């Protein structure tokens, strides 16, 4: 059998502190500390604990050239080799799921650090309400007591008398729209969106205004900018209440300006998915429509191969789309949201996505705002809610 190391692995020494009564009651009370190694690899869903011998072996095996397993067993304990094979950090040339995942990873042009961060910062099954309670996360008036004063909201780089004042421009329709753009946490759960509303917002944010070719490459012109003009961000819809659409999952096709149905659901099932997708945030789970933004990395990485900025660019693209969703919705007297606190893993499971191929970056959405402000919204201008 021949072996090689997986293409990418980041090894992190991590300290774990826990209560040990003996140490706590000793002359200098302290917590017990354990230091352990963890391997984070982009082709593996779970991080893997390592011992020192495993770390040494990972540093001794080439990720590109195959080594003979019997040869390796002369200098390293067979159990260490077996452990790393079972963990998927060494891969064999015969078969196996780990080897296939590693082979796929080698073809995708990910920058290694970005790949590790993307794979291992995802959530699955997180409920932010439970998690915040567990972590003792504080909100409201107690925040300042706990955290002390924050850095100032704006940065001063010159004394006021040295400043060069700027004109604001005449108040315009865009100003009015920006003032009314308030993240919505109070959706009207009795009111569905119309297809006309959904179509208008999707077209303005995600739709292709034309499809053309640049130097032989098929490209789309959209209302939002995109790194390299590649527009890798896909919009998937989780529909709860849209007139004329069954609850369930859809994909938006930007050239045809049409929805591809993926999976129909009962209303209860759609509501359950909505809650899980936004990690239990009830104010967003109640929106009639969630827009899942998933980057089709291969589209960006086709050009920006193993590039230090490519992953960041895909995330920035999602931000531009989100703001356009906000403005397009606000213009139609609707209200929008975005959240990064999402269970990417659960969303991928529901949509059948491989996170290293199409990665969920955020969930946005929109709907009609309810009449009552039960959840907090940030509207100091009273542009949406009367004083
Ligand atoms: C990247 C990003 C992530 C966000 N995540 C959350 C979130 O998880 N939960 C939430 O309630 N709001 C979330 N928000 C909304 C912000 O809380 C909101 O934009 C901020 O409070 C300012 O309010 P405004 O959008 O009404 O001006 C997010 C906004 C952005 C841009």
Cα–Cα nearest to 195, from 254, 257, 255, 265: 257
pLDDT of residue 22: 87
pLDDT at 139: 67
Mutate to test the pocket of ligand 1, among 286, 340, 343, 369 (most ligand atoms within 8 A of CB): 340
CA 363 to CA 274: how far, in whole Å? 10
Q: Does residue 330 line the site of ligand 1, with CB under 6 A?
A: no
Q: Quick one: 91 and 229 in the same domain?
A: no
Query: Is the CB of residue 183 below 6 angstroms from any atom belonging to ligand 1?
Result: yes
Tokens representing 62? 């080439």
Name the domain count of the chain: 2
**Sheet containing 358-367, strands listed edge to edge, beginning at the edge strand earlier in sequence:** 258-264, 248-253, 233-239, 289-296, 358-367, 335-339
Strand partners, 38: 12, 49
Are residues 215 and 100 part of one domain?
Answer: no
Q: In whole angstroms, what is the distance from residue 270 CA to residue 246 CA? A: 10
Residue 263 domain-assigned (yes or no)? yes
Q: Which tokens hold the place of 277?
A: 């997708």
Backbone angles phi, psi at 326, to 5 degrees: -55, -50
Positive or negative: CA dihedral 14, 17, 20, 24: positive
Whichever domain contains 363, its CATH number is: 3.40.109.10
Distance 326 CA to ligand 1 centre (A): 12
For ligand 1, is residue 376 a contact (CB within 6 Å)? no
Residue nearest to atom 12 of ligand 1 (CA): 339
Atom of ligand 1 nearest to the CA of 278: 8
What pLDDT does residue 71 have? 94
**Which segments of 25-127 does DSSP mark as H helices, in order?**
52-60, 69-72, 78-87, 97-106, 112-120
CB 281 near ligand 1, within 6 Å: yes
- What's the domain range around 260? 174-367
Q: What is the pLDDT of residue 135?
A: 63
Segment holding 321, helix H or strand E: helix 310-331
Q: Are both 223 and 81 inside the same structural domain?
A: no
Alpha-carbon gap, residue 190 to 199, rounded angstroms:
20
Q: Are residues 217 and 339 in the same domain?
A: yes
Nearest protein CA to atom 18 of ligand 1, as residue: 183
Please report which helix (H) or strand (E) contains residue 206, including its range. Answer: helix 195-206
Specify if 169 maps to a domain. Answer: no
Do residues 66 and 208 both lie within one domain?
no
Is 299 a domain residue?
yes
Instruction: Kindly give, in sequence order, each residue whose CB lies less than 8 Å from that of residue 153, ignoring residues fewer than 6 positions away.
Output: none
Measured from the CB, is residue 186 less than 6 Å from ligand 1?
no
Number of C-beta neighbours around residue 344 at 10 A: 26
Is residue 271 within 8 Å of residue 338, measured between CB atoms? no
The reported pLDDT for the residue numbered 133 is 77
Is 322 found in the same domain as 193? yes
Of all protein residues, the one whose alpha carbon is nearest to atom 31 of ligand 1 is 338
CA of 294 to the centre of ligand 1 (A): 18
For residues 319 and 193, membership in a common domain is answered with yes
The answer on 314 and 206 residing in a single domain is yes
pLDDT at 136 (0 to 100): 67
Question: Concatenated DSSP letters for 160-200?
Answer: GGG----------HHHHHHHH------B-TT-PBPHHHHHH
Tell me which residue of 359, 332, 319, 340 sits closest to 236, measured CA to CA: 359
> Token pair for residue 261?
């149905």
pLDDT at residue 142 in the model = 79
> How far from chain centre, in Å, is Cα 88?
25
Question: Does ligand 1 have an atom closer than 6 angstroms to the CB of 318?
Answer: no
Distances (CA, A) of 203 to 95, 126, 197, 281, 316: 45, 32, 10, 27, 19
Q: Which residues contact 134 (CB under 8 A, 6 or more apart)?
A: none
Tell which atom from ligand 1 comes closest to the C-alpha of 181.
26
Is residue 375 within 8 A of residue 287, CB to CB? The reply is no
- 339 in contact with ligand 1, CB cutoff 6 A: yes
CA-nearest residue for atom 1, ligand 1, is 340
DSSP 295-320: EEHHHHHHHSTT-TTHHHHHHHHHHH
pLDDT by residue, tens only, the chain of 387 residues? 899 999 999 999 999 998 888 888 888 888 989 999 999 999 999 999 999 999 999 999 999 999 999 999 999 999 999 999 999 999 999 778 999 999 999 999 999 999 999 999 999 999 998 877 766 666 666 788 888 999 999 999 999 999 999 999 999 999 999 999 999 999 999 999 999 999 999 999 999 999 999 999 999 999 999 999 999 999 999 999 999 999 999 999 999 999 999 999 999 999 999 999 999 999 999 999 999 999 999 999 999 999 999 999 999 999 999 999 999 999 999 999 999 999 999 999 999 999 999 999 999 999 999 999 999 999 999 999 999
**C-beta of 182 in contact with ligand 1 (< 6 A):** yes
- pTM, two decimals, is 0.95
Residue 139 resides in a domain = no
Whether residue 166 lies inside any domain: the answer is: no
Residue 24 confidence (pLDDT): 85
Ligand 1: atom nearest CA of 128 is: 8
Whether residue 302 lies inside any domain: the answer is: yes
Mutate to test the pocket of ligand 1, among 281, 284, 339 (most ligand atoms within 8 A of CB): 339
Q: Is residue 133 part of a domain?
A: no
Instruction: Give the separation between CA 108 and CA 356, rounded to whole angstroms.
Output: 8
- Closest atom of ligand 1 to 185 CA is 11
Nearest-CA residue for atom 25 of ligand 1: 183
- Nearest atom in ligand 1 to the alpha carbon of residue 342 is 8
């Amino acid at each position: 059998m021949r072996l090689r190391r997986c293409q990418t692995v980041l090894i992190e020494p991590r300290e774990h502190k826990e209560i040990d009564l003996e140490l706590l009651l000793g002359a200098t009370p302290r917590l017990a500390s354990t230091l352990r190694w963890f391997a984070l690899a982009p082709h593996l869903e779970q991080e893997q604990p390592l011992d020192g011998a495993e770390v040494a072996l990972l540093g001794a095996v080439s990720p590109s050239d195959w080594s003979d397993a019997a040869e390796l067993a002369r200098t390293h304990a067979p159990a260490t080799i077996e452990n790393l094979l079972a963990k998927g950090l060494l891969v064999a040339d015969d078969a196996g799921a780990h080897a296939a995942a590693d082979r796929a990873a080698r073809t995708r042009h990910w920058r290694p650090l970005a790949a590790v961060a993307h794979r291992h910062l995802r959530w699955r099954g997180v409920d932010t309400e439970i998690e915040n309670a567990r972590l003792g996360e504080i909100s409201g008036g107690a925040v300042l007591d706990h955290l002390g004063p924050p850095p100032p909201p704006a940065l001063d780089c010159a004394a006021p008398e040295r400043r060069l004042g700027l004109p604001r421009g005449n108040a315009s329709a865009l100003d009015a729209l920006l003032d009314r753009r308030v993240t919505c946490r109070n959706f009207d759960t009795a009111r569905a969106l119309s297809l006309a509303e959904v179509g208008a917002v999707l077209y303005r944010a995600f739709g292709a205004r034309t499809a053309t070719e640049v130097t032989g490459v098929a490209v789309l012109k959209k209302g939002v900018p995109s790194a390299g003009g590649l527009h890798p961000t896909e919009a998937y819809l989780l529909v709860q209440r849209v007139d004329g659409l069954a609850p369930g999952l859809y994909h938006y096709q930007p050239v045809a300006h049409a929805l591809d149905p993926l999976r129909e659901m009962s209303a209860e099932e759609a509501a359950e998915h909505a809650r899980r997708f936004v990690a239990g945030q009830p104010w967003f789970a109640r929106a009639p429509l969630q827009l899942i933004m998933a980057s089709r990395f291969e589209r960006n990485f086709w050009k920006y191969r193993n590039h230090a900025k490519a992953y960041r660019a895909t995330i920035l693209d999602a931000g531009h789309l989100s703001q356009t969703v906000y403005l397009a919705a606000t213009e139609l007297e609707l209200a929008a949201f975005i959240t990064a606190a999402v269970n990417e893993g659960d969303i991928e499971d529901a949509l059948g996505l491989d996170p290293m191929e199409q990665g969920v970056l955020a969930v946005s959405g929109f709907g009609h705002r309810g009449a009552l402000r039960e959840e907090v919204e940030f509207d100091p201008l009273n542009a949406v809610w009367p004083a």
